[in-house]
Chain A
Amino acid sequence: MANLMEQQKAARLNSSLRHEPDGRGHFGGRYGGRFVAETLVPLILELETAYAQAKADPAFQRELDYYLKDYVGRPSPLWLARRMTEKLGGAKIYLKREELNHTGSHKLNNVMGQILLARRMGRTRIVAETGAGQHGVATATVCALFGLKCVVYMGATDVERQKPNVFRMRLLGAEVVPVTAGAGTLKDAMNEAMRDWVANVADTYMLIGTVAGPAPYPAMVRDFQSVIGTEVKAQMQEAEGRLPDVVVAAIGGGSNAMGIFHPFLDDQSVRLIGVEAAGHGLDSGKTAASIERGRPGVLHGNRTYLLQSADGQIEEAHSISAGLDYPGVGPEHAWLNDIGRAEYVGATDEEALEAFQFCTELEGIIPALESAHAVAHAMKLAPTLPTDSLMVINLSGRGDKDIFTVAEHLGVQL
């Protein structure tokens, strides 16, 4: 494990922070890796080779671009949030409208890339894990599009609090398997999806929805999501003639954040802020803030920051948002935190609920509860910044799926 000072020095000297993990799939010599059972190792190595070939193949990129444009609906707009900006009285706020993608979130960017890869590899059965159901819906959608069998593992608690998405997945022809182990949330769904993959290696592709898991998933999912940041860069150039000053995104596993951060990693003037779900509060013991309240460990194929006990048992995360309710975070975020290139902060359930209403009332955009965490931090930060500064919030998903949860918290019966 490389020493932190050396890494910071290397990061300064290195021409770019935008790079591939090392041969072992490690970021910064420490995070990431391939911590899976032997049965799966040959499969992830095969996947790594297949992805490297696809990435180098212009025909693959052309095919992906076609689906991103005509099926996903890219590029997504960069919206100047005038009323939000006026109300907060500081930085000029733009919203990156990932909620306008087909299926209602950024998740389809990655799923589209991986499904094309799975097809290249000749796989006919897709398994996925899902928390809020956004990744599950995106996966079920492309499986319908290409006529592939789809099995989605979802924690039983999440099945309960995300009913609309469960029904949506079933309409799309997916089998949704509720997982009752543990607290019945994303962590448990991930365990069960990995068990399915181990047992069905011959025909099955595991379609991970975030920048975590064994290599090559973290870097591959990041690559597919980087379209978000690449578009923001061009759109901001067109709108303002310069780079943004601050980029804010919510973090569970961290795919929407990595997607918008990564193209800006070498632009040192751009502050990158990841907002974790603080749940009832960072020090309440009921939180999902893995970076702020966890320590490095190994789970689900990678070494990263984890919420865990002194004895190395993984703890249950807590967040009002099912998509952020995960005790870990992508390994590249762990590295960006350690070298100080990105900042990680928390927003509580209450703050996210307030931000959910704020964004809805002022901009006519109902954000997903996940994205509302990013809005919540922007509400704190924007008023402290000069009016000529530019802030981008990644509005990663739409909130229609969350209206039942929000209604319950507001004491409204639907």
Chain B
Amino acid sequence: MSRIAKRFSDLAAEGRGALIPYLEAYDPDRETSLALLRAMPAAGADLIEVGIPFSDPSADGPVIQAAALRGLKAGATLAGVLGMVSAFREGDAHTPVILMGYVNPVESYGYERFCKDAVAAGVDGVVLVDLPPEEADVIEAPAKAAGLDIIRLVAPTTTPERLGYVLSHASGFVYYVSIAGITGTRTASAGDLRAAIPRVRAATSLPVAVGFGVRTPEQAAQAASIADGAVVASVLIETLAGTLDAQGHATDATLPTVLEQIGALATAVRAAGRQAA
């Protein structure tokens, strides 16, 4: 059983959903983001998403755009991001790590090489935002051979006819993009999620996580209880950015402030348990 499948099945046995915090690699520098990555599980992260900085993140809002730029300025490369995950794995064999990013750096690195190196580094799954199933043949075979999950996005605009097609290309879990929009801008209501999630569940046996627009502990608890997990990204990066000094460097407040927020999100997600869906 993969780390992702095991984690979701353990949490299901506990009767709760997963908290999946996001960090942008190398934001604001390698050392700080690696320290944050290492500290996330103890703060309450059940799975972790690591953003691969890209120059043109066209599905992201201003917060993640800025984080990607800080990461690139700090020297992030795809190889460097894999190196970070590898360093994280030295101290944590169980927390699933998912890379999230855009396809061009991966295409440039080489799909087969990427899949092999990512698995060797301890990466469990990858979300490539601008690689829909129509174009995914370039990565599917090497990912399968290497044992890397391809996490698929499902959006409110995904039609019922299309849903089955998209999910037939998914592995690991399904990432439900809760709003038609870019990251960190709007928030879906609990009513929206209660209507949408059963539709996705009916079409897959994979766990479903909700992302885009999950900001508060209440929203995270709600999303993780209606679905199987909640991805929280922009609000954590906003917090991190708020602790940086005028030159954009990390301060003593950076790690504790972000970790405290993850702690509050985790407490709410754990208290909420899961709704019978």
Contacts and interface: CB of A to CB of B under 8 A. Distances in A.
A35 B103 contact: yes
Contacts of B54: 313
Interface in A174-195: 181-182, 187, 190-191, 194-195
A337 B132 CA distance: 27
A35 B135 contact: yes
Interface stretch (B155-163, B198-206, B231-239): B155-163
Nearest to B60: A195
A33 B132 CA distance: 10
Nearest to B59: A37
22 contacts: A35-B132, A35-B135, A36-B132, A37-B155, A38-B153, A38-B158, A38-B166, A42-B157, A42-B159, A190-B58, A191-B56, A191-B58, A297-B104, A297-B108, A301-B130, A303-B107, A308-B104, A311-B77, A311-B105, A312-B78, A312-B105, A314-B56
Interface stretch (B178-186, B219-227, B263-271): B178-186
Contact of B132 (A34, A198, A202): A34
Interface core residue of B58, B60, B157 (most chain A CB under 10 Å):
B58
Interface in A183-225: 187, 190-191, 194-195, 198-199, 201-202
Interface residues of A, number: 37
Nearest to A181: B65
Contact of A298 (B77, B107, B134, B182): B107
B99 interface: no
Interface string A267-290: 000000000000000000000000
A37 B134 contact: no
Interface string B117-134: 000000000000111101
A389 interface: no
Given A36-B132, A314-B55, A298 B155 contact: no
A310 interface: yes
B274 to A, nearest CB: 25
A381 interface: no
Given A35-B135, A41-B158, A202-B180, 4 more contacts: A37-B130, A37-B155, A298-B130, A311-B79
B154 to A, nearest CB: 6
Q: How large is the interface on B (under 10, 10 to 19, 20 to 34, 35 or more residues)?
A: 35 or more
B188 to A, nearest CB: 13
Interface core residue of B61, B65, B135, B185 (most chain A CB under 10 Å):
B135
A43 interface: yes
Interface string B123-149: 000000111101100000000000000
Contacts of B152: 38
A201 B186 CA distance: 14
A180 to B, nearest CB: 10
Interface of A: 24, 33-43, 181-182, 187, 190-191, 194-195, 198-199, 201-202, 297-301, 303, 306, 308, 310-315
B72 A313 contact: yes
A43 B162 CA distance: 12
Contacts of A187: 56
A25 to B, nearest CB: 8
B106 interface: yes
Interface string B47-71: 0000000111111110001000000
Contact of A33 (B77, B102, B135, B182): B135
B177 A300 contact: no
Given A35-B132, A297-B104, A311-B77, A199 B58 contact: no
B58 A194 contact: yes
Interface core residue of A33, A34, A37, A315 (most chain B CB under 10 Å):
A37
Q: Which 9 A-B pairs have the closest CB atoms?
A: A312-B108, A312-B105, A199-B181, A39-B155, A38-B153, A313-B55, A37-B59, A191-B58, A311-B77
A187 B58 CA distance: 10
A198 B135 contact: no
B135 A24 contact: yes
A40 B132 CA distance: 10
A315 B129 CA distance: 20
B130 A36 contact: yes
A198 B107 contact: no
A198 B60 CA distance: 10
Contacts of B162: 41-42
B55 A199 contact: no
A396 to B, nearest CB: 26
Contacts of B182: 195, 198-199
B132 A313 contact: no
A312 B134 contact: no
Nearest to B79: A311
A313 B105 contact: yes
B58 A195 contact: yes
A306 B59 CA distance: 19
Contacts of B134: 24, 33-34, 41
Contacts of A299: 56, 104
Given A312-B106, A314-B55, A314-B104, A201 B130 contact: no
Contacts of B107: 297-298, 303, 312
Contacts of A37: 58-59, 129-130, 132, 153, 155, 177
A18 B132 CA distance: 27
B32 to A, nearest CB: 21
B108 A311 contact: yes
Interface in B79-113: 79, 102-109
B181 A298 contact: no
A301 B103 CA distance: 10
A198 B58 CA distance: 10
